[in-house]
């Protein structure tokens, strides 16, 4: 796509590149990182993962001397809100999703979030940093939360 072409062109010419495009980083992060390194440029994508906290910086710098065995966390705020609300109120998915959309926590078209794509992109990025190898995104098993019901919390 256009974003990938722009990233490649910028990094190839030694220009630093900043992006929040998690899909591009999840699919092409290793390639872009190698291109950046080869051309003495920086590829910055902290905003693509847990934008409010420095997850990428923490993995790269703060935990550099540690052996990381797993990566876990709340990766999607929309899903966290929906699941937490379903658990505490007993309300069903569709009702809580509608509330989340009304409150601005969920997009009008929430598939990217509730079908697990957003979390999978973020986890692919974090795993690549933590373990030094970019997983094949197409081989990642993705399961969303659409089929979760209040019975699942009982």
* 8 Å CB contact between 86 and 153: yes
Active-site positions read 122
pLDDT in tens, 106-116: 999 999 999 99
SS3 67: coil
pTM: 0.87
- Does position 126 have pLDDT exceeding 80, yes or no? yes
CATH superfamily membership of 51-153: Dihydrodipicolinate Reductase; domain 2 (3.30.360.10)
| 50/41: higher pLDDT | 41
Q: What is the mean pLDDT of the chain?
A: 93
Domain with CATH 3.30.360.10 in the chain: 51-153
Q: What angle do CA 67, 69, 121 make, to 5 degrees?
A: 115
Tokens of 12: 């190839």
Query: What pLDDT digit, counting tens, does each position of 26-42 carry?
Result: 999 999 999 999 999 99
Q: State the Cα–Cα distance between residues 57 and 111, nearest whole angstrom.
A: 29
């Amino acid at each position: 796509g256009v974003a990938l072409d722009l990233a490649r062109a910028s990094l190839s010419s030694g220009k630093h590149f900043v992006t929040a495009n998690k899909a591009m980083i999840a699919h092409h992060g290793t390639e872009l990182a190698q291109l950046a390194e080869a051309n003495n440029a920086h590829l910055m994508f902290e905003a693509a993962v847990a934008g409010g906290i420095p997850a990428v910086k923490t993995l790269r710098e703060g935990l550099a001397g540690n052996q990381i065995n797993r990566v876990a966390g709340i990766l999607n705020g929309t899903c966290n809100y929906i699941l937490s609300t379903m658990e505490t109120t007993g309300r069903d998915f569709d009702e809580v999703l509608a509330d989340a959309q009304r409150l601005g926590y969920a997009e009008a078209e929430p598939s990217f979030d509730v079908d697990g794509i957003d979390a999978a992109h973020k986890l692919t990025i974090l795993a690549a940093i933590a373990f030094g190898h970019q997983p094949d995104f197409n081989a990642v098993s993705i399961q969303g939360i659409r089929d979760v019901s209040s019975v699942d919390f009982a």
